[in-house]
Amino acid sequence: MKRVLITGAAGFLGSHLCDRFIAEGFQVVGMDNLITGDLKNIEHLFAKEEFEFYHHDVSKFIHVSGELDYILHFASPASPIDYLKIPIQTLKVGSLGIHNCLGLAMAKGARLIIASTSEVYGDPQVHPQTEEYWGHVNPVGPRGVYDEAKRFQEAMTMAYHTYHGLETRIVRIFNTYGPRMRLNDGRVLPAFIGQALRGEDLTVFGDGSQTRSFCYVDDLVEGIYRLLMSDYAGPVNIGNPDEITIGEFAEEIIKLTGTDQKVIYKDLPKDDPTQRRPDITKAKELLGWEPKVSRSEGLKITYEYFKSLPTEELYKKEH
Ligand code: NAD
Ligand code: UDP
């Protein structure tokens, strides 16, 4: 049985990856310090023999006994309000954390994949974004703590690949959504659905003309799985190229939730990217991957999930 370590296992994406690798017949070691994650996301796995959990901060030395075939480094605060609240931990997990994971991968002879992000492109001046674009990031702006941690993480990973011959993969993830997102994590989809469910107006930042391209979590997980099993070490965009303005997205959520809430406008956060859409030519050609779930299907599933949560979740303050 192959054995895989997933850091950030109690988070949104990490927990879906645990499910997928167990379904594929792997032994899964989940690791998380629960700084933004929640054990509820993986409690259904605790009774399984194929799953074990380490409560550990990956910015500190990592010890895992036994063999490891693969490491997926997904630990990191990911939503803007999270990484603005815990900027130093964000920089540490993207630097010390990846260094520890790379050392562990060397010791175990494991292949490692890192969760990079469309944020490495910053506020992009090339549209849509291809992997060849170097990005437009403000290192000392508020988002710099996340963007630069992820850029460093890519550089460090590539250095281990080049100089030590370690098997590595880099996935650049674009905005992803689905069940197990935290209602209060500040990201636009849970923010809008939470507001609609509480009967509040939807807060659009800026004039709503900025764009994003939203990918359903199952599609993303499929892309990550294929990339990990491929032989390509360069960065690969995984995301859904179906681009929408945030203003239009708010209208879609109002329609989906059948509420009569209004849109209200708030200040645009500093350095908020004006446009974002992945060019997925590489993923198509190298992995035969493209997203299958449309935004309307994915949003329906996600809305049902949020509706099924206990009412107190709706009023829970941020971490
Ligand atoms: P999340 O906050 O739900 O999950 C992150 C998990 O990492 C949490 O469970 C958290 O407790 C854990 N963690 C953070 N720091 C840690 C540390 N030092 N040690 C151990 N565990 C730690 O976020 P997510 O959306 O699931 O994101 C997962 C990964 O994917 C992140 O690396 C993020 O940067 C990346 N990513 C996500 C998206 C997206 O749209 N969701 C987009 C691009 C990149
Ligand atoms: N946004 C918004 N209202 C909210 C939360 C976010 O208009 O209540 C906007 C935000 O300014 C950004 C977009 O929605 O332009 C996506 O934000 P998110 O935090 O989900 O992710 P980002 O892609 O910016 O990291």
pLDDT tens figures, 44-82: 999 999 999 999 999 999 999 999 999 999 999 999 999
Q: Ligand 2: which atom is nearest the Cα of residue 189?
A: 20
The SS3 call for residue 34 is coil
The ipTM assigned to this model is: 0.98
Q: Which of 83, 121, 146, 177 is catalytic?
A: 146
Q: Which ligand gives the minimal distance to the CA of 268?
A: 2
Please tell me whether residue 180 adopts helix, strand or coil conformation.
coil
- Contacts of residue 65, defined as CB under 8 A and 6 or more positions apart, other chains included, come to none
Contact 172, 235 (CB under 8 A): yes
From residue 25, alpha-carbon distances to 11, 12, 39, 228 in Å are: 21, 21, 22, 15
* Each residue's pLDDT tens digit, 169-210: 999 999 999 999 999 999 999 999 999 999 999 999 999 999
Number of Cβ atoms within 10 Å of the Cβ of 265: 14
The reply to whether 225 belongs to the active site is no
For residue 166, give both structure tokens.
């370690």
From the list 275, 276, 280, the residue with the least C-alpha distance to 236 is 280
- Give the side-chain half-sphere CA count within 13 A for 121: 27
**CA dist., res. 229 & res. 24, Å (int):** 12
Residue with CA at minimum distance from ligand 1 atom 34: 78
319 has a pLDDT exceeding 60: no
Q: CA torsion, points 239, 75, 113, 143, in degrees to nearest 10? A: 50
Domains and CATH numbers, the chain: 3-177+214-238 (3.40.50.720), 188-212+243-274+293-315 (3.90.25.10)
13 lines ligand 1 (CB under 6 A): yes
